[in-house]
Amino acid sequence: MDLGTANSIVIYNDQVVINEPSVVAYNKQAGKIEAIGEQAKLMEGKENDTIKTVRPLKNGVIADFEMAQHLIRELIGMANVGRSFLPPSLRMVICIPSGITNVEERAVRESAQQAGAKEIRMIHEPMAAAIGIGIDVLKPEGHMIVDIGGGTAEIAVISLGGIVCNNSVRIAGDTFNDNIVEYMRTNHNMVIDSRTAEEVKIAVGSAMSELEDEPEEYPTTGRDVVSGLPVQRNVTYKEIAFALEGSITRIEQAILDTLSITPPALAADIYRTGIYLAGGGSKLKGLDTRIANKTHLQVHVADDPLLAVARGTGIALKNFNKFSFLIR
C-alpha cells in the first residue's frame, strides 16, 4: 500500500486494484463514514454542517489518526471485493517517507493494525520508487532517486539495498497547489480552491518559463476578491512557472545538498546513470530539463511515475523475506 498525501494505491498480486484520492467524507451527525476516495473528493469545498471532508495524511504522514484508520480499513475492504484474501491473515508492506520520525512511523503501523493487518513491514519511499522503476537496488551501484509526491519530495542515494544519504523536504504537489492559489489571489484578484489549483497544475503547470511544446491558456473559474462574483480568467504556463519558482528552487537545492554529501564512488555511478524522477510531481512540464540543467546530469522520468512507489511496494511484498531493508 502506498498511503500517500494525495492518493492511496493498493497493489495485490502485482496488480493495481485501488487508486483513490486520500480523502474521507465523514457524517458528524450520524457518526459514520459517508465516502472515501474519489467520491469523497467530489465533496471537498462543498461540505455542509453535517458532512465534512478530511485528508488524514499531511506531508506524507498521518495527521488524523482516526480518519487514517477508516481510510486504510475502507481501502482494504474495497481491495477485498471479489478476492480470496481475508483480513485476519493480511500481510502488508506500507511505504513511508525517508524523513519520518519514530512517532509518525508508529502512527502508520498502529493505523494498519487497527484496520486489520496482522503482519506489517514498511519501506522508505525512495527505495520503493527505485524498485518500481526497475533498478536492482541490491547491487553495489549508486543510484539517485527523487520522488516528488503530494506531501514530500524525497531525495535519496541508494546502494547495496540501503539508503546511503537522503534528504526529505516537505515541498511537493500540495505546496504547488498552495502556490497557485496564492498567485491567483495576488495577481488575478481571484479566490480558487485547492482542487481547482490541482486542475490548473495538471493543465498548465510548468517548472520552466520557456517550453518547446507550449500548452494553451487554461480557463480558471473562481470568486472575484473585490466583487464577490463568480469569474473566469485565463492562466498561462508562464504564470504558473513564476508561481512555482520558489518551491522548485528549494527542491533543486535539496538535490544539490544530497549530491554534495554523496560518497565519491557513488557520485561517479550517478554521473554515469543519472537521476531518476518518480511521483506525481515529476510530471510537471519541464521539470526534468530544469534539474538536468542545474545538475549537469542526465534526468530520467519513470515510465509511470505516479505508480512507481506503489509498484515497488508490491514487489517488496512479493519478496517479503528477501529484502532485509524492510522495516519490521
More confident residue, 275 or 31: 275
More confident residue, 69 or 208: 208
- What is the per-residue pLDDT across 101-152, written as a single tens digit (0 to 9) for each? 888 788 888 877 877 777 888 888 899 999 999 999 989 999 999 999 888 8
Q: Angle, to 10 degrees, between the axis of helix 194-204 and the axis of helix 237-260? A: 80
More confident residue, 248 or 322: 248
The pLDDT-based confidence of 86 (bands split at 50, 70, 90) is very low
The letter for the amino acid at 204 is: V
CB atoms under 10 Å from CB of 90, counted, come to 17
Distances (CA, A) of 161 to 4, 23, 130, 158, 271: 23, 33, 10, 7, 20
- Closest by alpha carbon to 126, among 76, 163, 89? 163
The span from the CA of 248 to the CA of 241, in Å, is: 9
Residue 140 contacts residue 159 (beta carbons within 8 Å): yes
Pairing relationship of beta strands 143-148 and 119-124 according to DSSP bridges: unpaired
Which are the contacts of 81, defined by CB distance < 8 A and separation ≥ 6?
none
Which are the contacts of 139, defined by CB distance < 8 A and separation ≥ 6?
159, 160
pTM of the prediction?
Answer: 0.87
